[in-house]
A = this chain, B = another copy of it.
Amino acid sequence: MIDHILEGIRTYYLEWLPFNKVLGISIDSLDYETGEAVVSFPMKPDLIGNSAAGILHGGVTAAVIDLTGGLSALISCVKFNEDATPEKIQEKLISSATIDMRVDYLRPGRGEAFECKSRVIRAGSRIVVSKIDLFNEKAVRIATGTATYMIG
């Protein structure tokens, strides 16, 4: 059943959230045990924030950090409600939300493809804190972030 729910999270993110389509993200992995999530996306002209340098817009970086950390929070949400009905779990997932986020821009967002990895550093029944890193295809870390999520 867990696989079914994780599949549901994946479908929801990729099919139902228009802005995620604008960003062009894929979900590479969701680890139910650890809460780790990996998201990737290719560079494309729409994501550029500095036309001279051809680098990612800082807003794209922030958006991807938020949504990847959010996947870790959703996994935690499922784990804390493992015994609930699917309807109850779905309700809790939908009412989960980001409370706050810090993003540190470490290097210019240069690259052809990007990978964003999140892990859970605080897993509570009400609050989840994720630590998130964004890398380019050469494994250069472009940005890092910490985000606090409320579990529905």
Instruction: Show the binding face of A for B, using Cβ within 8 Å.
Output: 16-23, 45-53, 57-60, 62-64, 66-67, 70, 94, 97-108, 121-122, 126-127, 129, 131, 141, 144, 146, 148, 150
User: What separation, in Å, do the CA atoms of A51 and B13 have in the docked complex?
Assistant: 10
Out of B16, B46, B103, B141, name the residue touching A62 (CB < 8 Å). Answer: B103
If over half of A's interface residues share one DSSP class (helix, strand or loop), that class is named, otherwise mixed; here it is: mixed
Are A97 and B105 in touch, CB under 8 angstroms? yes
Is B23 in contact with A59, judged by CB distance below 8 angstroms? yes
Q: Which residue of B lies closest to A69 (CB)?
A: B58
The reply to whether B104 and A129 contact each other, CB–CB distance below 8 Å, is: yes
Q: Which residue of B lies closest to A64 (CB)?
A: B59
